[in-house]
Structure 1
Amino acid sequence: MTTTAVDPAKCRRCHRALTSAKSIATGYGPGCAAKIRGAAKTADLTDFKPAQIAKATELIEQGGILRTRRPNLYTAVSGDGNTTYLVARQACTCPAGIKNRACYHRAALTILAAA
């Protein structure tokens, strides 16, 4: 009988192993999740509307924003889940970002940077 090793799920923020089902589902350990929730309340989000902040928080909670190999560049999933965008704190390739408007993808990076 052959067994294969399964890679443990790791926190998207601190890269520690996740053990609880809830942490594995969200992608963040309880400590990192608390820091992100706190950052959402204290980060400078004056450029974003309340609806964008709510969507940014949901994007983070659902694991829809991922680091790339390039520093300060992330991949974000669209609201319908069919498209991905490249996001940096100052720019995004989503339709709003291309028009130099604030988008919830950038709000999510602002929250993550403050955490």
Structure 2
Amino acid sequence: MQNTTHTHCLRCGRTLTNTKSQAAGYGPTCARHIRNAQVELTDYKPHQIQSARELIEDGAIIPLRSIVFIAVSTDGTETYKTAPTACSCPAGLKGSRCYHQLAARMLLAA
């Protein structure tokens, strides 16, 4: 993933002052809300759940508008538009559920 420092929380927009929060992209309260978010995971494989959590932890999924996000690919070379029900990644274009969609669901549930 990319090595990015965020100055504002990707969830609530507040200024981040802690270096750990700046690296993650989320303040401690928002990070806790995201970790505790209740999302239906039965349609996802364990590796997809882990990848979605890593995407959020790395601050590699950024809100664009209401339910649309920009997500960075695993290798950091591409970005995709994603929402809870669709994604522009190769899997999403085939109609499959991808971990980008799951990450978007997790963020919206927080």
Distance in 2 of aligned mates of 1:88 and 1:56 = 13
In the alignment, which of 4, 10, 22 is matched to residue 8 of structure 2? 10
**What's the CA shift string for 1:41-63, capped at 9, x where partnerless?**
x3112221111010000001111
Check if 1:79 corresponds to 2:77. Answer: no
More displaced stretch, 42-51 vs 105-114: 42-51
Bigger RCO of structures 1 and 2 (CA < 8 A, at least 6 apart)? 2
For the pair shown, the structure with the greater C-alpha radius of gyration is 1
Check if 1:103 corresponds to 2:98. Answer: yes
Corresponding residue SS for 2:74: coil
**1:45–1:110 contact (8 Å) kept in structure 2:** no
Distance in 1 of aligned mates of 2:69 and 2:10 = 12
- 1:1-115 matches, within 5 Å, as 9-39=7-37, 42-68=38-64, 70-115=65-110
- Identity rate, percent: 52
Distance in 2 of aligned mates of 1:97 and 1:12 = 23
Distance in 2 of aligned mates of 1:75 and 1:13 = 13
Provide the TM-score with structure 2 as the length reference: 0.90
Amino acid at match of 2:92: G
Q: Runs of 4 or more off by more than 3 Å in structure 1?
A: none
* Per-residue deviation, 1:71: 2.7
